[in-house]
Amino acid sequence: MKKTHHARKPFLTSTLLATFVSSLLFSHASLADGSKQTNNFALGAGVGTTGLSLNGTFQLSDNINVRGIYANYDFSENDTESGIAYQFDIELDTFSLLLDWHPSADSGFRISLGGVNNGTNFSAKTTQTSGNITVGNSTFLASDIGTINAKVDYDSFAPYIGIGWGNAVRQDQSLSFALDIGVIGMSDPNINLTSSGTNTTIQPALDAQLEVEKRELESSLDGFNLYPVINLSLAYRF
């Protein structure tokens, strides 16, 4: 089976970071007053459905902030898909650049829009080493097919929309808590399945059944296009 590779588009992360830094520099210049300098920058950390996160917030105006968030979490688990036992290694990895609009400068309520550089991916391998194993619609000897390896990732860009509560750069507080509730619009998954078996006699039939298995895996992941985000964070204004 021919293995395909899906580019990560690493330049997107650099573009998002450059945009974030440019926004910070621009806002710093526009908000600075010769006689009065406001403290309009905050750093924080959080935890939620995207993992552990670090964030920076900068005030663009009384009602609008720009926020950069890096989140990551790795974990492993064993599960069964389409009757095949897999060991999954999952990495949640995102960098978000968001604009927060506060309808009232005195309120913590906000509406957030932005983009996410989505590096979320997972790999899986079969754990069965003996007996028969059903792949797609056919049954093979586990010793003949070796290990089935799956790789799943997503397009690197994803939009984000959400609401939240908290304003890390309000001038009447140095320490603040925040809550975010939103969704990341993830692409359809990019899936690659291969086997490590060396039995060339069964390889054509196995490749065909791996395609069946791939379609079943795609179907089981259909509900993950809208990834829910719930995050609690703590920030300190400098």
Distance (Å, rounded) from C-alpha 207 to C-alpha 140?
Answer: 12
Per-residue pLDDT, averaged over 127-154, amounts to 90
Please tell me the predicted confidence (pLDDT) of residue 221: 81
CATH of the domain at 89: 2.40.160
Would you say residue 11 has pLDDT above 50? no
Per-residue pLDDT, averaged over 10-37, amounts to 48
Tell me how many domains the chain contains: 1
With respect to residue 1, please indicate whether it lies within any of the assigned structural domains. no
Would you say residue 161 has pLDDT above 70? yes
Query: What pLDDT band is residue 30 in, cutting at 50, 70 and 90?
Result: very low
Please tell me the predicted confidence (pLDDT) of residue 38: 66
Amino acid letter, residue 209 = Q
Q: Are 27 and 34 in contact (CB under 8 A)?
A: no
Convert 205-230 to b/e letters by CB count within 10 Å (16 or more is b).
Answer: ebeebbeebbeebeeebeeeeebebe
Read off the tokens for 201: 């006699």
Distance (Å, rounded) from C-alpha 69 to C-alpha 54?
Answer: 6
With respect to residue 228, please indicate whether it lies within any of the assigned structural domains. yes
What is the three-state SS of 161-219?
EEEEECCCCCCCCCEEEEEEEEEEECCCCEEEEEECCCCCCCHHHHHHHHHHHHHHHHH
Residue 163: DSSP 8-state: E
With respect to residue 105, please indicate whether it lies within any of the assigned structural domains. yes
With respect to residue 6, please indicate whether it lies within any of the assigned structural domains. no
Please tell me the predicted confidence (pLDDT) of residue 37: 52
- Cα end-to-end distance, the chain, whole Å: 55
- Of 32-36, 113-117, 169-173, which range is least confident? 32-36
- Of 17-31, 79-93, 95-109, 215-229, which range is least confident? 17-31
CA-atom Rg of the chain in angstroms? 23
Read off the tokens for 152: 């799943």
Distance (Å, rounded) from C-alpha 200 to C-alpha 198?
Answer: 6
Per-residue pLDDT, averaged over 65-94, amounts to 92
Total residue count of the chain as it appears in this document: 238
Kindly report the average pLDDT of the chain as a whole number.
85
Residue 33: DSSP 8-state: B
Backbone angles phi, psi at 164, to 5 degrees: -170, 180
Read off the tokens for 99: 């604009």
What is the domain extent for residue 56?
11-237
With respect to residue 5, please indicate whether it lies within any of the assigned structural domains. no
pTM of the prediction?
0.78
Left (φ > 0), alpha (ψ -120 to 50) or beta: where does 166 sit? left
Instruction: Name which of 48, 230, 227, 1 is nearest 122 in CA terms.
Output: 227
- 3-state SS class at 34: coil
Per-residue pLDDT, averaged over 204-231, amounts to 89
- 3-state SS class at 225: coil
Please tell me the predicted confidence (pLDDT) of residue 233: 98
Residue 72: count of CB within 10 angstroms of its CB? 16
Please tell me the predicted confidence (pLDDT) of residue 172: 86
Distance (Å, rounded) from C-alpha 228 to C-alpha 238?
Answer: 31
